[in-house]
Amino acid sequence: DFGLVIAADGPRSATRSQLGLPWWSHSYSQGCLTAKVRFRDIDSDKAFECFRPEGPLAILPLGDADFQVVWSAPLHQCRRLAGLQASAFLDQLCTILPHGLEPDALLDSPAAFPLEISLAPKLHRENVVLVGESGHRCHPVGGQGLNLCWRDAETLLQLMSSASCVRRGLKSVPARYSRRRYFDLLTVGFATDILVRLFSSRQSGLLLVRRFGLLILKHSSWFRRVSLQAMSDGPSTLLHPLPK
């Protein structure tokens, strides 16, 4: 029998440490604060990404009028914000939101943590596979860290239910999982890192590149669709026809 072990125990994975799997990591000079917030008079199907000098701010739909706020800023500021009372926190959030976004209620306790880009260069050993943040982390710009985790789970499920797996058993799953996931992990990690560096820099040359990119996004529906597909379903899906 081959018992497949799925290690999804987070970025400080005890399973990864026990197996002695290497872990490459680089810490950003930013922290991240996450909170669930209810907004008033808002389109619940839209997500928002605001690039600010101190770091990106993502507002991601959860259903109805509830959204996940992912607020990047210096770590000490994130920790200070996480310790505020609900009303004070919402007041601080109001000061950085775009016009038309009005928070109505804080739905949970905000959490603050340091940001890093990390990768386990090997996502499996024998019958153990690293899934989610036990195998990788990236900057949460655009909610890409969560999207990667969902695609990890989807890939593993596809492999476990494939016809070849039914015939040969689970032994081939760990190595195939690693091969399938690496392109996605590397390209998304690289892209998020470039975005953060591009939008946090005030160098004139990079400012021109940034403005040009935003101009293309504004005026090209095709480019917006390609970008959304890559962010939602992974860069490898760009080889497939765009959805209508």
Q: Give the C-alpha separation, 27 to 115, whole Å.
A: 6
Q: Measured between alpha carbons, how far is 35 from 15 in angstroms, rounded to an integer?
A: 28
Dist CA 153 CA 138 (whole Å): 17
Closest CA relative to residue 73, chosen from 117, 29, 108: 29
The answer, as to whether pTM is greater than 0.85, is no
Q: For position 171, what pLDDT does the model report?
A: 83
pLDDT for 175-205, tens place per residue?
A: 999 999 999 999 999 988 888 777 766 677 7
Residues 149 and 202: beta-carbon distance below 8 Å:
no
Residue type, position 52, single letter: R
End-to-end CA gap in the chain: 45
pLDDT at 241: 55
For the packed helices 204-219 and 221-233, what is the interaxial angle rounded to 10 degrees? 100
Q: How confident is the model at residue 2 (pLDDT cuts 50, 70, 90)?
A: low
Q: How far apart are CA 21 and CA 135, in angstroms?
A: 10
Average pLDDT of the segment spanning 73-80 = 92
- Is pLDDT of 244 > 60? no
CA atoms of 208 and 131, how far apart (whole Å): 38
Which two tokens mark 89? Answer: 């926190």
